[in-house]
Amino acid sequence: MNNNRRAFLKFGVAGAAVLAGLNQLLKISPHEFNEKLTRRVIGTGRLGPEFARNRAVMPKANGLVGLDEEIELKDWMLKIDAPGASQRIMTIDEVKSLPRVEMTTELMCVKGWSEVVHWSGTPLRHIAPPSAPEYVGLTTPDESYFVGLDRESALHPQTLLAWKMNGAPLTSEHGAPLQLVIPVKYGIKNIKRIGSIRFTAERPTDYWAERGYDWFAGL
């Protein structure tokens, strides 16, 4: 076989592969494409950028759904459900007894603004079952705000259950006593005042996805 024929065959195989890939992409929505691509990147352990502590500022109190009523810290509890296990109940002191980490990361809003914030909390993976299912759903105590996460994002090392912001306890408008911090996703996934966490094999509903936004919401 001469070199020209070999080159032609290689080009034909490569072209067919590209066309097949494009054909598959055309069959999925932009949201699905974003999820497939970003899940692969996050699955490799990509970390969100971290910054010097002195760059941290007080973020906007954006998104108050689920925060209508004041709560007493002593009355708050975190409910944790997982397949094949009894429901766990944790107080805020029990959550704070888990391994603690601090990080200064960027909070990015789908509206275009971003702010650097210093967080203190524990990685969500510390409360996950040994064999975590595909998805995690989180809701506020009144269940009016809710988010869904894929397993890779939920167990990401920078995904925190945070109880402090810039060295001080969370304020009510910023999600006291516990909020999710997930630097590899937009702020709409950073649910405030978490009331329950459910590990599940079925994709959970998501407040903003139900309103037309990307369910995955990855950066």
Q: Specify if 133 maps to a domain.
A: yes
Could you tell me if 106 and 38 lie in one domain?
no
Could you tell me if 84 and 180 lie in one domain?
yes
Q: What is the pLDDT of residue 92?
A: 96
Arithmetic mean of pLDDT, 93-122? 97
Angle, CA 193 vertex, CA 187 and CA 199 arms, to 5°: 80
Q: What is the pLDDT of residue 15?
A: 44
Could you tell me if 34 and 73 lie in one domain?
no
Gap between the Cα atoms of 87 and 77, Å rounded:
12
Total domains present in the chain: 2
Q: Specify if 34 maps to a domain.
A: yes
Q: What is the pLDDT of residues 109-121, one digit of tens each?
A: 999 999 999 999 9
Q: What is the pLDDT of residues 57-90, one digit of tens each?
A: 999 988 899 999 888 888 999 999 999 999 999 9
Q: pTM for this one?
A: 0.82
Q: Specify if 216 maps to a domain.
A: no
**How many beta carbons lie within 10 A of that of residue 163, not counting itself?**
20
CA atoms within a 13 Å half-sphere pointing along the CA-CB vector of 151: 13
Q: What is the pLDDT of residue 219?
A: 82
Within the chain, residue ranges assigned H as helices are 3-26, 30-43, 92-96, 151-154
Q: Which of the pair, 202 or 20, is modelled with greater confidence?
A: 202
Q: Average the pLDDT over each of 18-22, 111-115, 159-163, 201-205 and give the range with the smallest value.
A: 18-22
Could you tell me if 139 and 184 lie in one domain?
yes
Q: Specify if 152 maps to a domain.
A: yes
Could you tell me if 32 and 105 lie in one domain?
no
Could you tell me if 37 and 65 lie in one domain?
no
**Encoding tokens for residue 213?**
């936004």
Q: Specify if 219 maps to a domain.
A: no
Q: Average the pLDDT over each of 5-14, 109-118, 131-140, 172-181 and give the range with the smallest value.
A: 5-14
The one-letter amino acid code at 139 reads: T
Could you tell me if 40 and 61 lie in one domain?
no
Q: Specify if 63 maps to a domain.
A: yes
Arithmetic mean of pLDDT, 117-131? 97
**Bridge partner residues of 79 (DSSP):** 89, 196
Report the CATH number at residue 162. 3.90.420.10
Arithmetic mean of pLDDT, 117-132? 97
Residue 148 lies in domain? 49-211
Could you tell me if 114 and 9 lie in one domain?
no
